[in-house]
Structure 1
Amino acid sequence: MDVDLRKLRYFVAVAEHLHFGRAAEALHIAQPVLSRQIRALEEELRAQLFVRTKRATELTPAGEQLLADARPLLASAEGLRRRVARAARGGEVFTVGFMPGLIVTPAVRAFGERHPGLTVEVVRTTWDDQTATLHDGRVDVGYVRLPIDRRGLRVTPLWSEPRVAALPADHPLAGKDAVGIADLAHERLLQNPDAVPEWRDVATRRDPEVRFRAVEEKLEHVAGGHGVVVLPLSVAVFYTRPGVGYVPVTDIPPNQVCLAWSAGRRSPLIAEFAAVAREMSVAVDSF
């Protein structure tokens, strides 16, 4: 049985919205059309994917499983489309993703000098999309910060670096030589807590989750006295600014920087870039 990717996209939209009307609006199709496509998919898979009541739409266990499998499948299909389109335009392009604070220029330049006919581009990623860009083909390789979901990826370690707390400049802890993660337990965290699981384990404050995508946004809110963030040292060095003080957090593991790429890719260029990246990896270890 061949699964229709269009139906999978429709399914993921409904699963993410848990509302047929909103999903149809996001997909720019009529709701009856969407409902028919989902019923057709359920018939093809011989499984009920949603439970619909007057008040809610919920995933069944089969739907939960399909959602987990459908997302990487759709991302791989999108990656294939991007690579084919790129090849059709002529001229080979190799794209490197990188997280804030990371300097990838030495490896990118060295790699480009080995392949003068290759266009090497760089793309800045964020905590939310550093792996998505690998799955959907926006980048060929990516400098990522752990922890990440490694499913469907190959990952090679490069270096590690200490982590620091970014605090308002007038915060009582801002003048300390170092702090422990427990010292931040009552603070409002202005980032995804999955990025700082050590804080999540000891937190005594349970505010509604706040997520700012850009480092600049996070630090602007820190300077305004709205909370704190925990950052890798290289990010703190790169984004030093008035109104924010940085203090080492000494009792949590360092942040691990890795190079990652899709496990399904077998390009010799990827293997070569990984070797260059390992050779030229340099960690920031002090302000």
Structure 2
Amino acid sequence: MDVDLRKLRYFVVLAEELNFGRAAQRLHIAQPVLSRQIRALEDELHVPLFVRDKRSTELTAAGRQLLEDGRPLLAAAEALKRRVAQAARGTTRFSIGFMPGITVTDWVRAFTARHPDVEVELVRTTWDDQVEALHDGRVDVSVVRLPIDQRGLTVRPIFAEPRVAVLPAEHRLAGKESIEIIDLAAERVLNDPDAVPEWRDISVQLREGTAPPARRYTSIEEKLEDVASGQGIAIIPKSTSEYYNRPDVVHVPVGDIGPNQVCLAWISTRRSPLIHDFAEIVS
């Protein structure tokens, strides 16, 4: 049986929203159309994907499995379309993703010296899309910051760098030459707790259940605005703190916290010689 990618895309959006009205709105289709497509997909797969009642819509075990497997399939299809369109234009383009604070200039210069006829495109990524950009074909390689989901990827370490605490300029720890993670136990840290397990394990707010709901940041600039306004502190790589230097925040080294690992990543099944040439330059 062939999987209809349109139905699969409808399913993924509904699985993310768990609400037919919101999902139909995101897809720009009528709600009855979405319902018919989901029923057709369930008939084709011979399994129920959702449990529905008047109050809620939930995924079944089969639905959860399809969501896990369906997302990378849709991303691969999108990457295929991008590369086919590029080939049709008759141009050779090589796209490089990079995270904030990382400078790729020297690597790009060395690469273009080897491949003067290749059009190089640089794409700034974020914590949310540094891997997604690889899977959907926006970039051929990506300079990423760990941790990431490494499934389906080849990942090569490049370097590690210290992480620092970014504090409001008037913070009680702002004048310190360095601090320890225990000094931050009573602080609100704006990172995802799992990204800073050293703090997560000693956080007073997390232990007492008084931590405010975590905010999802789409850029480092947003996070630094909240630090400057006294909403909390952040743990970020040293190069990022230096690149986004501003007078109303300070950064202080944290002596007993692990470094951030910077790596080069690409889709494992890709066999492009350009990818391996760039990897050779970076390493």
Q: Same fold (TM over 0.5)?
A: yes
- Give the SS at the match of 2:225: helix
1:83, 1:199 → 2: CA distance?
42
Note the C-alpha offset of 1:241: 1.1
- Give the SS at the match of 1:158: strand
1:267 alignment partner, one of 242, 262, 272: 272
Note the C-alpha offset of 1:216: 1.5
After TM superposition, the structure 1 stretch with the greater mean CA deviation from structure 2, 187-196 or 145-154, is: 187-196
- Give the SS at the match of 2:201: helix
Aligned to 2:126: 126
Q: Deviations over 1:114-170 (max 9, x none)?
A: 011101111100011000000000000000000000011110000000100000111
Aligned to 2:233: 228
Alignment of 1:114-193 (within 5 A): 114-193=114-193
- Give the SS at the match of 1:2: coil
1:210, 1:199 → 2: CA distance?
17
The amino acid across from 2:148 in the alignment is: I
Aligned to 1:75: 75
Aligned to 2:224: 219
1:230, 1:250 → 2: CA distance?
12
2:32, 2:197 → 1: CA distance?
43
1:68, 1:198 → 2: CA distance?
29
CA contact (8 A) 1:190 1:212 kept: no
After TM superposition, the structure 1 stretch with the greater mean CA deviation from structure 2, 179-188 or 264-273, is: 179-188
Alignment of 1:83-98 (within 5 A): 83-98=83-98
The amino acid across from 2:217 in the alignment is: F
TM-score normalised per structure 2 = 0.95
After TM superposition, the structure 1 stretch with the greater mean CA deviation from structure 2, 254-263 or 220-229, is: 220-229
Aligned to 2:208: none
Q: Deviations over 1:237-272 (max 9, x none)?
A: 111210111111121210000000111211111011
Structure 2 gap ranges (5+) = 206-210
1:247 aligns with 2:276: no
2:182, 2:75 → 1: CA distance?
39
The amino acid across from 1:220 in the alignment is: E
Aligned to 1:283: none
Note the C-alpha offset of 1:90: 2.0
Aligned length: 278
Note the C-alpha offset of 1:70: 0.5
- Give the SS at the match of 1:77: helix
Note the C-alpha offset of 1:179: 1.7
- Give the SS at the match of 2:204: coil
1:219, 1:54 → 2: CA distance?
43
The amino acid across from 2:229 in the alignment is: G
Alignment of 1:20-99 (within 5 A): 20-99=20-99
1:226, 1:236 → 2: CA distance?
17
- Give the SS at the match of 2:160: strand
Q: Equivalent pairs: percent with the same residue?
A: 65
After TM superposition, the structure 1 stretch with the greater mean CA deviation from structure 2, 179-188 or 65-74, is: 179-188
- Give the SS at the match of 2:221: helix
Note the C-alpha offset of 1:80: 0.7
> CA 1:194–1:75 in 2, change beyond 3 Å: closer, same or farther?
farther
The amino acid across from 2:255 in the alignment is: T
Q: Deviations over 1:52-74 (max 9, x none)?
A: 01111001111111101011111
CA contact (8 A) 1:146 1:255 kept: yes
Note the C-alpha offset of 1:218: 1.2
- Give the SS at the match of 1:202: coil
The amino acid across from 2:197 in the alignment is: P
